[in-house]
Amino acid sequence: MEKYDVIIVGAGISGLLSALALSKHGNKVLVLEKNDFVGGNCNSYMVDGFQVDTGAHAITHLEVGPLRRLMDNYFDYMPVFEEYGHYYVRTEDSFVKVPSNVREFVTFDVLPRKDRIVVTQAITKALTLCTFGIDLSRQSVYDSMPGNLSQDTYDFVDAISYFLSGKDMKQTSAQRILAGSSFVRDSVPQEQIESIMNGNEKPQTEPVLKSILPSNLHTSLQTRMDRVSKPVSSLGRLATNRVSHSQGYPRKGLKALLNALLFSLPRSVEIKTRCKVSKILTTEGTVVGVEADEIYYADTVVHTGFVTDLPEMIVDLPASYVDELKGVVHTKSLTVWLGLDRVMDAFNYIGSEIWFKGCPYWAMPISNYDASLAPKGKQLVGFSFIIDNEKSEASQVSRAYETIYHAIPSIENHVEMKHEQITVPEKAAVTIDGYFAEIRTPVKNLYVAGTDTDKRSMGITRASYSVIELLKRLNEDGNLHK
């Protein structure tokens, strides 16, 4: 029986990025994927001549964020990212840019003037607190706002919260809004990646304080110290911020990112599709392999499916760990893709739009980035909605269409392709008390990675953060370099 250094469960972007890095560090890697395709949610496919993605995507923190660092260090060629453009707000009678900073917010006349002034004060206060190291991840957006605002303002803030965390403003943290609107910017220093690449278990010039603190504590301490040392640049963003700072959309669609990753994978990486892992096998508290269509053995296993599936897959997980996993919060989304028989004036922009009244959506005319995503002279627009698990999916799909036709009445006569996707965009929502799993599990040499193991940023950027954290842990445990 062949034995692998590492088995990776799941061939989404988290699993494939992990496979890429591990194989480039000399490991013999097997990736097992239950679907008959790879890429998970990071994918595109054809529907009646239009190339749709799995949900409308803006890729964030492209300048110095985690995906950029992984691409720079492990990809053999780079996908091209088109500049994201702007975020807009559509209402019955206006179409205006989403304010990026307090200066623009003051003139954002979609909301009442009185509300704009008090909300501006609340943003200034939150950013100031955050800049000086106060953790706002457990304070809700709702609690950070003044009372007595108009219904329109609450609806607007709720819509932004839904698209950044999957939950309403009472469950979304103030920190999430500041990061999601680019006021607070995360980055991964190249030196951090270099210490992983070079196999240094610890940075060589580690301060004494850092060496005695647990890693989660010194990471947050460093973040705080960095923020305090750069307060002027952060606070300066109150006036100069751009919501879409360092965001992009891959030319040729989302699958262009997947293709660049697959192209960079060494031939030694084996990928098996239609191969669902049902059990993770352990002996005396250490992982030894997995059971799928057959038994596969490895020294290390990385699970990138839902972390909440682990209790079904492993016997004798500690009860306290199983209980903690129950705290993970899931949300679902619906994306309606409409293929239009012409390029419409209503979508004459690069970027995306938000409709915030009643049934909020976030929409992206993706063929405006790349005309080849739609047949010649036609247009492709994706509208994403949050799904309420308590209500029937069919009724929410009908409501989504009603909302689109109400928001843009002229669209209905030009729809020649309709396609719906109901998906879980991230494996854990960033709510004020939602749980995120540690990369190391209670089973020795079993690790988890993916969007339910890191709170930072969203989607593909968050998946990339989790892979960097995974590489750090593997390096510290002597399981990265062969």
Q: Which residues bind ligand FAD (CB under 6 A)?
A: 9-15, 32-35, 40-42, 54-59, 276-277, 304-305, 333, 335, 384, 423, 425-426, 450-451, 458-461, 463
Least distance (Å) from ligand FAD to the CB of residue 117?
31
Least distance (Å) from ligand FAD to the CB of residue 350?
15
Of 131 and 466, nearer to ligand FAD (C-beta) is 466
Least distance (Å) from ligand FAD to the CB of residue 13?
4
Buried b (16+ CB within 10 A) or exposed e, 192-231: bbebbbeeeeeeeeeeeebeeeeeeebeeeeebeebeeee
| Rg, Å, the chain Cα set | 23
Task: Evaluate whether 324 touches 441 at the Cβ level (below 8 Å).
Answer: no
Of 137 and 423, nearer to ligand FAD (C-beta) is 423
Least distance (Å) from ligand FAD to the CB of residue 43?
8
| SS3 of residue 356 by DSSP | coil
Task: Evaluate whether 66 touches 461 at the Cβ level (below 8 Å).
Answer: yes
Query: Which of 132, 162, 179, 120 is CA-nearest to residue 462?
Result: 179
Of 30 and 141, nearer to ligand FAD (C-beta) is 30
Amino acid 304 reads T
Tokens representing 11 are: 């061939």
Burial of 342 (0-12, 13-18, 19+ CB in 10 A): exposed
Least distance (Å) from ligand FAD to the CB of residue 66?
11
User: Can you tell me the distance from the alpha carbon of 301 to that of 405, in angstroms, rounded to the nearest whole number?
Assistant: 48
Least distance (Å) from ligand FAD to the CB of residue 333?
4
Q: What single DSSP character describes residue 193?
A: H
Strands 295-303 and 446-448: parallel
Of 119 and 290, nearer to ligand FAD (C-beta) is 290
User: Can you tell me the distance from the alpha carbon of 120 to that of 377, in angstroms, rounded to the nearest whole number?
Assistant: 42
Please give the sequence-ordered ranges of beta strands (E in DSSP) within 343-404, or none if there are none.
Answer: 351-355, 361-364, 379-387
Least distance (Å) from ligand FAD to the CB of residue 362?
8
Residues constituting the chain: 482
Please give the sequence-ordered ranges of beta strands (E in DSSP) within 10-58, or none if there are none.
Answer: 29-32, 44-47, 50-53
Least distance (Å) from ligand FAD to the CB of residue 140?
22
Of 53 and 115, nearer to ligand FAD (C-beta) is 53
User: Can you tell me the distance from the alpha carbon of 437 to that of 282, in angstroms, rounded to the nearest whole number?
Assistant: 20
Task: Evaluate whether 371 touches 252 at the Cβ level (below 8 Å).
Answer: no
Least distance (Å) from ligand FAD to the CB of residue 59?
5
Return the ∠ at Cα 338 (arms to 334 and 344), rounded to 5°: 135
Least distance (Å) from ligand FAD to the CB of residue 339?
17
Helix axes 459-476, 13-24, angle to 10 degrees: 40
Dihedral angle computed from the Cα positions of residues 40, 448, 433 and 359, in that order, rounded to the nearest 10 degrees: 0
Of 102 and 178, nearer to ligand FAD (C-beta) is 178
Of 116 and 245, nearer to ligand FAD (C-beta) is 245
Of 102 and 288, nearer to ligand FAD (C-beta) is 288
Of 10 and 99, nearer to ligand FAD (C-beta) is 10
Of 330 and 357, nearer to ligand FAD (C-beta) is 330
